[in-house]
Amino acid sequence: MPKVAIVTDSIACLTKELVEQYGIRIVPVSFYSEGKVYKDWVDITPAEAYELFLKNPESFKTSAASPEDCLKAYREASKQTKNILCVTISAKLSATYDIAQVAKERAEVELPGTAIEVLDSQTTTAAEGFVALAAARAAAEGKNLAEVAKAAEEMRDRVSLIALMDTVRYVYRTGRIPKVAALAGSMLNIRPILTMSSGLVRFSGAVRSKEHGIDRILKMMRDRVGQSAVHVAVMHAYALEEAERLKERVASEFNCVELWLTEFSPVMGYATGTGTLGFAFYRDD
């Protein structure tokens, strides 16, 4: 049995198979649609959530994970081991890191003898997932809490994220551009390309067509990894067929030692809308 249990939030976009394989506990992030509260990946599938989003985008709101849900994950993990590492979405994007710290303080009282570390992944989606996976894989090798945390920190410095939005219509919700500009960009069919840097999502360009955008993000990944072996997670927001085609291109154009397909957390739909494609990746140095 591993000496360390791994906890992460649902925005890490880990597949059910990976979660089960490594025994990772997932803290669900909540969202609201038409006044009803849903727990990400628990009460509803991502596809069902995006259908709600398309039905009434303006009623769709998001919320950070709750301290109680985080504490519940700690309780479950403590049944396996007394050492826990919790990997969260970037603290610059969400309050989840602070909430995980609050839950840790409660757990220290409720679960004496349990050591809990909370790590800011400084990224999001499957890039965060790769940070959690690095920790889980180190734990599976029998490493202690300090060594597992170090493995996660090293991955945090290696992993990259690139995403292509299908619309700029809802990006005003990030607070970065006015709503009127987002609507104008949507009418012009502008599709932003997003990356992560210093814990924040960055706009790294824009294209007019999806086809051109996919070519662009593949080139961006090629520029970063060259001919090296690479680990890749392909992601989509309610665009399964396009994502499967993108995965096929990644498999044919890169030397993948790991390649899996997942859905963006529906919480992402709050600012990206449906149709977003992207990938998280790192070189197998």
pLDDT at 206: 85
CATH of the domain at 275: 3.30.1180.10
Is 50 within a domain?
A: no
What's the mean per-residue pLDDT of the chain? Answer: 90
Neighbouring-strand partners of residue 271 = none
The whole-number pLDDT of residue 267 equals 81
Spatial distance between the Cα atoms of 250 and 232, rounded to a whole number of angstroms: 8
203, part of any domain: yes
Closest CA to 8 of 129, 158, 160, 143: 129
Please check whether residues 21 and 116 belong to one and the same domain.
yes
Q: Are residues 190 and 278 in the same domain?
A: yes
At 34, phi and psi to the nearest 5?
Answer: 50, 40
Q: Percent of the chain scored above 90 by pLDDT? A: 68
CB 7 within 8 A of CB 85: yes
For residue 172, name the pLDDT band (cuts at 50, 70, 90).
very low
Question: Phi and psi (nearest 5°) for 40?
Answer: -50, 125
- Distance, CA of 271 to CA of 254 (rounded, Å): 30
- CATH number at 113 reads 3.40.50.10440
Looking at the structure, tell me whether residues 248 and 125 fall in a common domain. no
Specify if 95 maps to a domain: yes
User: Does any domain span residue 47?
Assistant: no
Give the mean model confidence (pLDDT) for residues 207-233.
Answer: 96
- Look at residues 115, 137, 156 and tell me which one is the last residue of a structural domain: 156
Domain co-membership, 152 together with 166: no
Buried b / exposed e over 235-265, threshold 16 CB at 10 Å, is: bbbbbeebbeebbeebeeebebeebbbbbbb
Q: Residue 32 pLDDT more than 90? A: no
pLDDT at 69: 95
What range does the domain containing 102 cover?
5-29+64-156
Considering the domain architecture, whether residues 11 and 133 belong to the same structural domain is answered as: yes
